[in-house]
A and B are shown apart, each in its own frame.
Chain A
Amino acid sequence: EEQLLESGGDLVQPGGSLRLSCAASGFICSNYGMSWVRQAPGKGLEWISAISGGRDNTFYADSVKGRFTISRDNSKNTLYLHLSSLGVEDTAIYSCATRIGVMLVWGPGTLVTVSS
């Protein structure tokens, strides 16, 4: 069964950095495009970044471009999101997800809180 599990969420001060991990199981994540999505308190869902399968092309929403970096470690079958220059507006549940054929797989999410 294809599964994703995020980790790394924490309380961080404004201006700080954090690295989120998304461990894949049941499939080889390097073969598929993968995305990060977030939901801030009281707000809707927002796609923030993606990495393509194979060539590792990367894509970012304007709201995080230049501050967040998506990457993948194929040896660990794990997706990452490095967050930097964090602001209170980045407080959210961060989830990773992937499309395998027409199937969509979501992880349960990890909470990032930016506060002093």
Chain B
Amino acid sequence: AQTVTQSQPEMSVQEAETVTLSCTYDTSESNYYLFWYKQPPSRQMILVIRQEAYKQQNATENRFSVNFQKAAKSFSLKISDSQLGDTAMYFCAFSRYGNKLVFGAGTILRVKS
């Protein structure tokens, strides 16, 4: 069974600085999807970024980028120029065919002014 581990329960960062959230996963599959979801206090689940395992190029979405290391089974999220609105719980998730999402426990990120 696939597992996803987020080893940082909480993190904080100053506004405008850069922060990296860690995620490791375990799978024997070669093709899969990886995701980062943001959950603000409103509790909505918002897709931040998605990576397809067969693509070697790291995904980027504006201030958000990932460092995907397939051999190491690592999928970290970098947030540049952090903003107060980035304060949220961040979940890393794995999916084999786009069906069941397997989530990590989450990392609470606090952006300080």
A and B bind: no
User: Which residues in B have some Cβ–Cβ distance to A below 8 Å?
Assistant: none
User: Which residues in A have some Cβ–Cβ distance to B below 8 Å?
Assistant: none
